[in-house]
Structure formats: C-alpha cells, structure tokens
Structure 1
Amino acid sequence: MELSTMPVLRITVRDGAPVPEAGGPLDAAIRTALRDPRVGRGPVTLMVHGFKYAPGVAGHCPHDTIFSEAPRAAGADPRLVSWPRHLGAVRAEADRGLHVSVGWPARGSIWQAYRGAAGAGAALASLVAAFRAADPVRPVHAIGHSLGARVILDALARSERRSLDWAILLAPAEFSATARAALASPAGRSARVLAVTSRENDLFDLLLELFVPAPRRGDAVIGRGGLSAPNALTLQLDHRDTLAALGRAGHRVAPATRRICHWSPYLRAGAFTLYRALLEGRLSFDRLRTILPEDTDPRWARLRPRRASTAGSGWVPSPQN
C-alpha cells in the first residue's frame, strides 16, 4: 500500500490480470489493505482512469498523478488533481474506506486504448470478485472517467449479481448499446449506475463516434442520450436546472465556465463532494432521482448557447479545454 496519510492500494493491470504494484499475491494485498485501521468499515472505491494514462510511464502514471495523495507535476497541469483526497481518503474520522488506484495501459492510439479497455474490464471484474471474497458485506464502488467508464461497464457485464454497489461514469467514452448490455447483466441490474454527462464534452463524444466503430450501426455515445433504467440515472453537470436543484438539496456544484472540456466532471468545484455523498450513503439513489429534472440541454448547446433555451449557467468563453 502507498506510504502516505491515505489508505490507497495500487493495482496495475498486467497481462489481463490485476496485480498489486507492491508485489505479492492479490488476495494477501487486499486482506492487508482492509485491515488498515484507517479503512475501518468504510467502502472500497475503485478509481479507474481514461485515455493516455499508463502505469510506469513518467508523467502519465495514474498511481503517481491523479490517484496519488500529491500528484507529481500537478503545477504543470491543472487536470492532475488527487482523486482519493477529494473523495475523502484524508479525512480524520475512522471508517474512511479503502481507495484503490486501478492503472491500465491506455496509451497509444484511441483504437488501441478502446480495445484495451475491454481487457482492463476483465481484470477489474477479477479485482471486484477478490474484494467480495475477502469481505462479502463491505460496499464496493467504482468511479471512472472517459475510457475508464468503458472499463467499468465491461467489468459489470462480466460480473456476478451484487458485485458493485455504485458505478459512477464521468464523461463516459462508450456507446449506448454497450452500456445497455452491461446494465442488463446480473451485476448491471443490481448496481446503482450514474452517468455524469456535460455538453462541454460534446466535441469529444463526436470524435469517439467518428473514429471508433459503434457496436451497432447508427448507435450514439452515452453522452448524447444518457442512460435510462430503473437503476440508472443521467446527471448533466452543466444543465442550469440540474445545478439549481442540486443546490437546493444542499449539494452545490459550480456552474460550467467553458464551452469545451473533457475533464469537467471531476475538476468542477463541488463535483467530488457530490460523488462522495453518493458513495458514502449520505445521498441515496432514490433521493437523487427525485432531485434531478427530467429535461436536459440538447447536444451542442454550449457551442450555440443562444439557441438553447436551457443552456448551462455561468458560460464564459475560454480558450482552454
């Protein structure tokens, strides 16, 4: 386990299997990590990165950047923020849970990374099963960004019922048909799934549709239409009415300030606090369902805000993305 003030277990996908970065058998590493007094009875939260990250690659290793306590080179790249820190791994109270840094090879071309995410999904499913075997009662959650969401959905499709409690998909780089198939699996039907979308991500969604063949002809990515199922919700993070409703319920998230941004679902102030409330059980799935409005902004609303009747608040042109 990482030597820090946070209980973080580093797992790397090697040859399609989850391997502890510190070495040794996976089962032993899990048992040791769960015995950490800081973990207590808290949940296990599996953190899964997206495109361009890969364990052991300087400047792109998730264990040393977004999944570490103090991301290296953070001053050079504002996107490198500590996920476990923002998800509550440093809070003083007991039962803070175990945060797991899941690293997989996501460099190379987008085609290579998209295909590789399926292999990482198989490894993630094995990792989830290992945690369930070690402690069948403890909640196990997963949160992933971009292609990390594809990894989580692939793991859901391969897993047994009640394997994951929460699956939070941030700007998911995946097609709707694949997501529906994952939700129809035993693990998918028993999990609570949240797709966090944003019109800031429309350009990235379009690029995925243009360059990666859809599993079904004419299929769109999740970001265009969202997810809809009894156990799945879509939260459009730059929708004015959604932010207002969340704020009235005590979950304030800053409005969007950019027209194009792929990382907004975890860089936006208040976003991680919202995810923590879900993962820690302070905000239930049913309560979130009642909070979220039914309508959303249409695609390209942030690039054509004057034509969108409910464009996200706080829009300010910015050259950054």
Structure 2
Amino acid sequence: MPVLNLTVTETVTGLAGGETGFDRRLGRAAAAGGPTDPIVLLIHGFRYSPLRGPTNPHDSLYATAPGGRKRPRRQLSWPAALGFRDDPDDPGLCLPIGWDARGTFAEAFAQAEAVGMHLAQLIARLHARYPARPIKLMGHSLGGRVALAALGALPAPMVRQVILLAPADFDTHARAVLTRPGAQGAEILQISPPENWLFDRLLEQALRRDAGAGTALGRRPPRAENWIALSLADEAELANLAALGHAIGPRCAPVCHWGAYLRAGVMDLYSALLTDRGPRALRDLAPPPRSLP
C-alpha cells in the first residue's frame, strides 16, 4: 500500500516536511490502486508534532523504514505493523496525518477539534476525487478526538469506518457527532483496554469542567447500532475474536496508554479491517449476547 505522509494544521494540508507538489503526489499515489481500494488515514495523539523535530511522528510512528536511533516501544511504526509496505503494487492508499499536539493537554485537546474540522475538508476532497473508494480513519488517544471532530464536520456520509484506540474524548462529544450527517453510515470501533482506564480518569479530572458534563469514552461508550466498543478484557469477547482468526495477547503492562496498539495481535486485526480482509460488519466483532439461565 503506498504511504504518503501529510501534515494537517488548522488552515493547511500539505506533504510532510513542507515538500511541494501535494496534488501531484497525492494523485500519483492514489493512481497506483484500484477504483475501490481503501484510503486509510492514521492519526496520532498527544505530544507529537510534525512542526517540532524531536517529536515529529513522521520520523517515528509513521516511519516506513527504520531510522538510525533506537525508539521507545510505544513509537513502533504503524504502517509497518499494519503491513503497509509503501509498495505501489499493494492495494489501497495510506495517509499518515501529522498535527501539532504539543503544549498543555488542554491546549492539544482544543487543537484536536480544530484540526479535525480541517481534516474533514481533506476527506471531502478525497471523496470527491475517488467516490468509490472507502475512506477509513484510525486514531489513537487525542487522534480519536480528531477523527470524531472530522466525522462530525462532514456535510454528508463520506467515511466508511473509524477505529478509535483508547480515545481521549468524552461521551457527550461522541453522541453529538453520531447525530450529524457525516456519521451516518460510518462503522465505529472503539478499543478501550483496562490498562488505559487510569488515563480515562485523568482525562475526566483534567478537562471535565471545560468539556461539559461528560464521561470519558473509555468508561461510557455510546450505545448505537454503528458503534462497537471492545475492552479486550472480556473472555467471551476475546474468544469471539480468536474464532474470527484474531487471537489477542494479554495486556503489555498493568497501566499503559498504548496497549490498544501494542498488544500482540491487535494491529493484525486493525489491518484486516482497514483493508477489507476482516468481518464484513464490525458488529461481528462483538460476542453474541449471553443467554439468560
């Protein structure tokens, strides 16, 4: 799958590193795939910024080739872990999105909303140019808030699927997004493993007053037909995933904000979903309801 790294700000979308020729490069990368191949947007979370060298996600999370310096495990390459080899002969197109998520957490939380609004413009452009290609989003932490903000800003259904990894957002925002035109027809998968629950509590303590009377998504996901929430902690849930061919490993640490993409087997699951090799409907990922005795 060709990989084209992008930077999105409140006002501008362009190639990573400030390179020129955005439309030409995008057209060339998209032309390598078929008319119905997926377009996948990856969105990082807090403390990364393509505008500040040491925290540039394009040199860590989004790097398709190993660099010279050793990186923390949480900075594993998402494209590589998903099996996206930056090969023009592979179907699909991967667009890793870099945005400025530095500053205080409150500042990055507000910035995520603004960036999501601008990301919606990019999604609308992609949908207009490639209407038959399913557009899919995967965001971690505040990247999940960016994805939801983009979904809520779209004037019509344009996104097929959203995968939220330990999203740093509130149920009030998610429920509002679900009522908007852009969310209609989109399947949303939320992964909120127990090793992230401390961070859900910290989110509430840090921002609850500013965000309104809401609860962290990890503790209260919306109840909606198109929203599936998995904890990766329920035995029936894990057994159902294993039966579908996706055995998920145990938590990598008692407390870990990155477990939603570091656990063994999870990136293979996301890859199957993003490339249409997984279940036809996200609802198939949830275990069947337990029968009453």
* Pairwise same-fold verdict (TM > 0.5): yes
Q: Is contact 1:140-1:163 (8 Å) kept?
A: yes
- Matched residue, 1:86: 81
TM-score by length of 1: 0.83
**Alignment equivalent of 2:23, drawn from 24, 27, 33:** 27
TM-score by length of 2: 0.90
Whichever structure has more helix as a proportion of its residues is 2
Task: Decide whether aligned partners of structure 1 residues 25 and 122 sit closer, same or farther in structure 2, where only a CA change above 3 A counts.
Answer: farther
The answer to which of 236-245 and 261-270 deviates more is 236-245
Alignment of 1:270-309 (within 5 A): 270-284=265-279, 286=281, 288-289=283-284, 291-292=286-287
Answer 1 or 2: higher relative contact order, Cα 8 Å, separation at least 6.
2
Distance in 2 of aligned mates of 1:208 and 1:73: 35
Q: Given residue 56 of structure 2, which amino acid in structure 1 is its aligned partner?
A: C
CA RMSD of aligned residues (A): 2.3
Alignment of 1:63-78 (within 5 A): 63-72=58-67, 75-78=70-73
- Matched residue, 1:61: 56
Alignment of 1:169-318 (within 5 A): 169-213=164-208, 217-284=212-279, 286=281, 288-289=283-284, 291-292=286-287
Q: Given residue 247 of structure 1, which amino acid in structure 2 is its aligned partner?
A: A
- Matched residue, 2:122: 127
Task: Decide whether aligned partners of structure 1 residues 130 and 251 sit closer, same or farther in structure 2, where only a CA change above 3 A counts.
Answer: same
Alignment of 1:105-120 (within 5 A): 105-120=100-115
Q: Is contact 2:37-2:91 (8 Å) kept?
A: yes
Unaligned runs of 5+ in 2: none
Secondary structure at the counterpart of residue 168 of structure 1: strand
**Deviation at 1:231?**
0.9
Distance in 1 of aligned mates of 2:74 and 2:252: 15
Q: What is the CA deviation profile of residues 74-126 of structure 1, one whole-angstrom value per residue up to 9, with x for unaligned ones? A: 63411111111122212879443111110100011001100100111012101
Q: Is contact 1:51-1:113 (8 Å) kept?
A: yes
- Matched residue, 2:154: 159
Task: Decide whether aligned partners of structure 1 residues 281 and 76 sit closer, same or farther in structure 2, where only a CA change above 3 A counts.
Answer: closer
**Deviation at 1:294?**
5.2
How many residue pairs match? The answer is 289
- Matched residue, 1:51: 46
**Deviation at 1:71?**
4.9
Task: Decide whether aligned partners of structure 1 residues 75 and 240 sit closer, same or farther in structure 2, where only a CA change above 3 A counts.
Answer: farther
- Matched residue, 1:309: none
**Deviation at 1:26?**
4.2
Q: What is the CA deviation profile of residues 179-228 of structure 1, one whole-angstrom value per residue up to 9, with x for unaligned ones? A: 01111111112211111111111111111101113566541010002232
Unaligned runs of 5+ in 1: 1-5, 296-321
Task: Decide whether aligned partners of structure 1 residues 285 and 35 sit closer, same or farther in structure 2, where only a CA change above 3 A counts.
Answer: closer
Percent of pairs identical after alignment?
36
Q: What is the CA deviation profile of residues 143-199 of structure 1, one whole-angstrom value per residue up to 9, with x for unaligned ones? A: 000000000000001003221111100000000010011111111122111111111
**Deviation at 1:60?**
1.4
Q: Given residue 216 of structure 2, which amino acid in structure 1 is its aligned partner?
A: V
Q: Given residue 223 of structure 1, which amino acid in structure 2 is its aligned partner?
A: G
Q: Is contact 1:147-1:173 (8 Å) kept?
A: yes
